[in-house]
Chain A
Amino acid sequence: QQQVKQSPQSLIVQKGGISIINCAYENTAFDYFPWYQQFPGKGPALLIAIRPDVSEKKEGRFTISFNKSAKQFSLHIMDSQPGDSATYFCAARVRGSTLGRLYFGRGTQLTVWP
């Protein structure tokens, strides 16, 4: 059972455009939502993360929007660049867990055309 559902599976955007990736969850015990970026042959790298007490977090060209009532969150990449071409994973972690286990979405393969 996929605890975090991610869409779309793949995304093609022109350089300078906005890339939007969406995730949804059901478990209300989740309270930490990171996004990871993975390039071919590399492990996932933390990009940006949010907690449900805020509705938006921005770091440079990357923004997370969070809708607690809808149990949805999304990643927006502004002014997308060819170097942003990678696979993006959303994830979630249970509140108060001593384990810190991350539940990942299936990933979105982003291609930015020059």
Chain B
Amino acid sequence: ETGVTQSPTHLIKTRGQQVTLRCSSQSGHNTVSWYQQALGQGPQFIFQYYREEENGRGNFPPRFSGLQFPNYSSELNVNALELDDSALYLCASSPGQGERGTQYFGPGTRLLVL
């Protein structure tokens, strides 16, 4: 059984560009959550996808968007990148929603915006 995987591991972009980050959930997991972890901070919830639909969002602007595919893998898209978007982006999968799912995190994608 493979765990949560994310790609790429590192990425450098310039301000104003767009970026797509990818996540493959753990086998049997149908729920994917995305978190942003700034340097020296705890992860902050961006949004969650359950069965290909967004079912909740944290305090992030609409330029943060996502998708979940039929195989439950997911993408995080960020448009009009800003310097403050530099962070580690974590994907977490779980076998169900809410209390039915312990969240298992991937290694993250480290994004640097110059």
Question: Quick check: which of B11-19, B65-73, B77-85, B94-102 contacts chain A, the rest being far away?
Answer: B94-102
Given that A106-B40, A106-B42, A107-B40 are contacting pairs, would A98 and B107 also be in contact in the complex, using a CB cutoff of 8 Å? no
Residue of B at shortest CB range from A45? B105
Interface residue A97 (Cβ < 8 Å from any Cβ of B): yes
Interface residue A41 (Cβ < 8 Å from any Cβ of B): yes
- In the bound complex, residues from chain B placing their C-beta under 8 Å from that of A102 are 33, 35, 43, 45, 103
Roughly how many angstroms separate A4 CA and B99 CA in the complex, as a whole number? 19
Question: How close is A6's CB to chain B, nearest CB, in angstroms?
Answer: 8
Interface residue B7 (Cβ < 8 Å from any Cβ of A): no
Q: Other than the known A89-B42, A100-B48, what 14 A-B pairs have Cβ atoms closer than 8 Å? A: A43-B4, A43-B90, A44-B90, A46-B102, A98-B56, A99-B48, A99-B55, A99-B97, A99-B98, A101-B48, A101-B58, A102-B35, A102-B103, A106-B40
Q: Which of A43, A93, A99, A104 has the most CB of B within 10 A?
A: A43
Q: Which of A34, A49, A104 has the most CB of B within 10 A?
A: A104
Interface residue B64 (Cβ < 8 Å from any Cβ of A): no
Question: How close is B87's CB to chain A, nearest CB, in angstroms?
Answer: 13
- B44 touches which of A36, A98, A104, A107 (Cβ 8 Å): A104
CB pair A100 B41 closer than 8 Å: no
A:11-49 near B, CB below 8 Å: 32, 34, 36, 41-46, 49
CB pair B97 A100 closer than 8 Å: yes
Residue of A at shortest CB range from B104? A46
Residue of A at shortest CB range from B106? A43
Q: Which of B48, B55, B101, B103 has the most CB of A within 10 A?
A: B103
CB pair A44 B97 closer than 8 Å: no
Interface residue B74 (Cβ < 8 Å from any Cβ of A): no
Roughly how many angstroms separate A105 CA and B41 CA in the complex, as a whole number? 8
- In the bound complex, residues from chain B placing their C-beta under 8 Å from that of A45 are 105
